[in-house]
Structure 1
């Protein structure tokens, strides 16, 4: 994708706005990122960022309970929200004739949500989130693996030591006052980026944004986030998980460089060569040749305010053997690095991932909000393929030797003896 012209503006209250024209279809994507996620939560109130994502759909000063979704559905919109370690985002894609409706709804809940925060809404949505936790995490095979690995990887009290879903105990302890304080602290224009992509006129769109968002007070400065630094891991920290699972399995987590620099590009490409699908080294060794696993996969979670994370998952009858073979393959890769073909394939996969993330107005709007929020540069999204293509085989080798070294990870063993 060629770089597309962006129209950027910052309102007087600090809201950053990015508009990008795309006249292929008569749609407009509205995407707003707030710079708050689970890493900003305090001890005893984990899960509050994700809980608040749900509360944001329960009405606001001029929108009755249930009306936010009803208005968007009547307009033929698709919409949702998500929470991660570092941000919460809300998004809707509407027929362009309903763009102002989407802007008004987002502005109303940014400016007036506390008017609709009631104990009944809190109790209802807390139960929804607790049920989500049961269904997606606690009662799913291996469902708490990522959460467990984060607790093993990060020191106690570290901002990334807990995941966005939070704990049942903390959700139960959350009060209405906690929610109002959380909103007042983080849900402010100066802590948000609004992107609009689609069949729009940039000047008209910016005027509409000013109309609906311009009168919202800037709010107080957000608190300084706690440092999230963590270097490469050393040694293997293993936890045996006593759960009834369909098959024994082995999960491993490695810390990686923070997103935003050249090192993360090379480190993610190293993870791609090692475990990115059926053409990877780990799949070839464990599934095809040694037949010690029925499936194996590696992937990366990029984080901008702390270490990125690599995760390796392998399902097979002997997790101890899987762990030993993983060390062998990591050592070989650190010594040899990738072949030219492997490096080229990893670069091609990076470009494919970029195209998949940005091929729709919805995806591009999200990518623009992300880059503006995390790196202060919305247009950075368009340089992703070039950044990956510039990585050399030697850089991949060096990053693997430092960050994906044998004997340097946290791990979970399901249904087998630990190594």
Structure 2
């Protein structure tokens, strides 16, 4: 009887866990706005004596001017090169001395900087962030700009021009979005634009976008909110507000026809990319397509993996993802062929599996597997102050409300198999997509014709 009672106990624990998860999820926080327009979001978590300081500037590559691409990413580098009261190199040195770490990243819609460090060193992170927000120009020079320009150019050579398949993202963006659309160029920018940028252009970009009224500061971790906001005021209040920043808008567009592209590259195996137009992040249809991507290609039990890699053994790997951004989304399927296999064979199987999904809803088990994985991902993110800070930033920027965690959690739980099929039918139209074949040089016959 012991195994029977053990099973009952495990079922009770599982049911209790499910009921616990049904409670509304939230990241408790307080929102402040300083006189200079800086938005401050504070989240108290006393689990460990650590704190994360996270600053999002609402500027990414989509805010750039034509012929001046790459500025947002260039600034991610310049921001670590010293400011009015911080010598070059000291940003990292000071943080490492107290056991902290830091980094930054740039996307089409925002630029992010963060520090994670012991809670008793919070003032150091606030000093460093306020100094480069308010006094970067005091330390910036044409020489420093030229130095970081060369670093970014070398990064582009390594990651785009000389890396196998590295040109794929740029090629897809240029052919997926129409000219004039803010997502038409790569985040890292173009070589000619980086070369042509003057020091005056860089100064203008900083003054316009790196102002407190275009930034959101999130502090998450072992803090006392009333004391922390006073610290924030101490370090940031004197920085003047900048001009009002207008967010980029995108002309409405629709992919018409199937656009087939072939690039011969220094690669060993051909790779296929299929790109479809989908909804923006956190908008209706985004979660459905996220689940569709996982049903198709996440894990060894996914449909495309089983067909292409395991059963037919014509692909080395396959993946799919929904990439929602502020101005729209892109659904991508990517598969690398095995030696001697033409990409037409891969496309045929991918189209067959997508076609099945558009006609017949996935099983309850398939959907539940993916939903459970997404729920676990969200819950795991809540274990870290750094992740929670980033979640508050993302919800504020893209959903307009930092208190959107429960809505994010719930939109997956509410999905039915028929929702996935309906969205796949609406967005995964083989007559409205970009098809990119990257093949070894001299092997154009392996591409989709």
CA deviations on 1:306-326 (whole Å, 9 max, x unpaired) are 111121110112111111222
2:408 corresponds to 1:390: no
TM superposition score normalised by structure 1: 0.96
Equivalent residue for 1:216?
239
Residue 246 of structure 1 corresponds to 268
Distance change in 2, residues 1:106/1:27 (3 Å): same
Answering whether residue 178 of structure 2 is matched by residue 155 of structure 1, we say yes
1:171 paired with 2:201, answer no
Change (3 A) 1:168 1:257: same
1:310-349 equivalent positions in 2, closer than 5 A: 310-316=331-337, 317-349=341-373
The CA distance in 1 between the partners of 2:152 and 2:241, in whole Å, is 30
Q: Kindly report which structure 2 residues correspond to 1:208-357, keeping only aligned pairs within 5 A, or say none.
A: 208-227=231-250, 229-231=252-254, 233-304=255-326, 306-316=327-337, 317-357=341-381
The alpha carbon displacement at 1:104 in A equals 1.1
Equivalent positions of 1:60-71 (< 5 A) are 60-71=83-94
> 1 CA distance for matches of 2:151 and 2:37?
33
- Which digits, 9 at most, give the CA deviation of each residue in 1:316-364, with x for residues without a partner? 1211111122211111110012111111112112213323433311111
RMSD: 1.5
The yes-or-no answer on 1:122 pairing with 2:145 is yes
Instruction: Give the C-alpha shift of residue 239 in structure 1.
Output: 0.8
Structure with greater Cα Rg: 2
Structure 2 partner of 1:24: 47
**1:378–1:41: structure 2 CA closer, same or farther, 3 Å change rule?**
same
1:11 aligns with 2:34: yes
1:183: Cα distance to partner? 0.7
Is the CA contact (8 Å cut-off) linking 2:70 and 2:190 kept in structure 1?
yes
* 1:116-135 residue CA offsets vs partner (Å, 9 max, x unmatched): 11011111101111111111
Q: Which moved more, 1:77-86 or 1:219-228?
A: 219-228
Deviation of residue 160 (structure 1)?
A: 0.3
- How many residue pairs match? The answer is 417
- 1:228 Cα deviation after fit: 5.5
The answer to whether residue 64 in structure 2 is matched with residue 34 in structure 1 is no
- Match for residue 358 of structure 1? 382
8 Å CA contact retained: 1:110, 1:187: yes
TM-score, normalising length from structure 2? 0.90
Q: Do the aligned partners of 1:327 and 1:407 also contact (CA within 8 Å) in 2? A: no
Q: What is the distance in 1 between the residues matched to 2:423 and 2:253?
A: 15
In the TM superposition, residue 261 of structure 1 has moved relative to its aligned partner by 1.9
Match of 1:378, SS? Answer: coil
